[in-house]
Amino acid sequence: MPEAMEQGNHTMVTEFVLLGLSHYRQVQLVFFVLFLLSYMVTVLGNLLIIVTIQANSCLTSPMYFFLCNLSFIDLCYSSVTSPRMLADLLSQRKTISFNGCMAQLFLLHFVGASEMFLLTVMAYDRYVAICKPLRYMSIMSRPVCCMLVVGCWMGGFVHSIVQTILTVHLPFCGPNKIDNYFCDVPPVIRLACTNIYIIELLMVSNSGLISLVCFLVLLVSYTVILVTVSLRLRDGKWKALSTCASHIMVVTLFFGPCMFIYLRPFSNFSADKGVSIIYTVLTPMANPLIYTLRNKEVKDSMRRLWSQHRLSIKN
């Protein structure tokens, strides 16, 4: 029975039950091992990128500044859902308090929207670097980069606080079962015991349009970059294409699932859980792999850092 309390004429839900990915114990154990490994790769990979960029004086361009911030965001983003999911996979009672659910929802959209804006800023950075190389360092100065990153976090906060306020003021009087492994807007507001049509439109226009607009800006930016590379550049052409290709892979992994989830009415699709895994688990893990495997400077810096570490141990 759901834990609840009386408020007015309604019995208000005070906790939610997360149905998770599977009801079968053996499947849950397999998922636990897989997601634990992916979370470890995510944490270690992103920490390695942050340490490498901070420790190497050669990696000072705006691109690496943004990459360091992206790794930090991915650490935060994966930590919003993965630890709770791993604990629930080993638990018989998968419940989360109402306040805990709203906190997870807020953090998920706060960090997720901040990453959307940061990826858009990174596309602009690549546009300036390739299309206006002589003015690159003056346009993308360190104060400008810092303001852009702060703007990404502020934009994420505004987006998330709107989503959370709209959700927290809905009446929840049962049922209390969330058909997912974390609290997100679509499955939560479907449990509200009121007409959510207007709220649904507001949230789709908020989350869905942000995803779509950022994706279209990114698409235009990379189209201009690719045209410029093919027409104007000769030296460094393949390096520029490789950098853009890694960004496009990240964008596709992140924005595709987000638009699938948020740019439609919040009806329950059987594919929603699988799609959610892509942008909450796989994308934060894939980002360091994509950037490190496709970026020669980062790989060389990691090798030098490892060599210095080995020498310090021997001495």
Q: Angle at which helices 98-131 and 209-231 pack, to 10 degrees?
A: 20
Q: Please return the burial class of 25, using the count of CB atoms within 10 Å of its CB with bins 0-12, 13-18 and 19+.
A: exposed
Q: What is the pLDDT of residues 11-49, one digit of tens each?
A: 577 889 998 888 888 999 999 999 999 999 999 989 988
> Which domains are assigned to the chain?
15-314 (1.20.1070.10)
Q: What is the pLDDT of residues 257-275, one digit of tens each?
A: 888 888 776 666 667 788 8
Average pLDDT for residues 269-293, to the nearest whole number?
A: 81
**Could you give the CA distance from residue 2 to residue 93 in angstroms, rounded to a whole number?**
12
The candidate with the shortest Cα–Cα distance to 53, out of 43, 66, 68, is: 68
* Cis? peptide before 175, omega within 30° of 0: yes
pTM of the full structure: 0.86
Structure tokens at 315: 């001495």
Instruction: Say if residues 112 and 258 touch (Cβ distance below 8 Å).
Output: yes
Q: What is the pLDDT of residues 107-116, one digit of tens each?
A: 999 999 999 9
294 within 8 A of 245, measured Cβ to Cβ = yes
CA pair distance 80, 109, nearest whole angstrom: 10
User: Residues 189, 212, 75, 160: is their CA dihedral positive or negative?
Assistant: negative
User: What is the pLDDT confidence band of residue 294, given thresholds at 50, 70 and 90?
Assistant: low
Pairing of strands 15-18, 95-97: antiparallel
Give the pLDDT mean for 54-73.
87
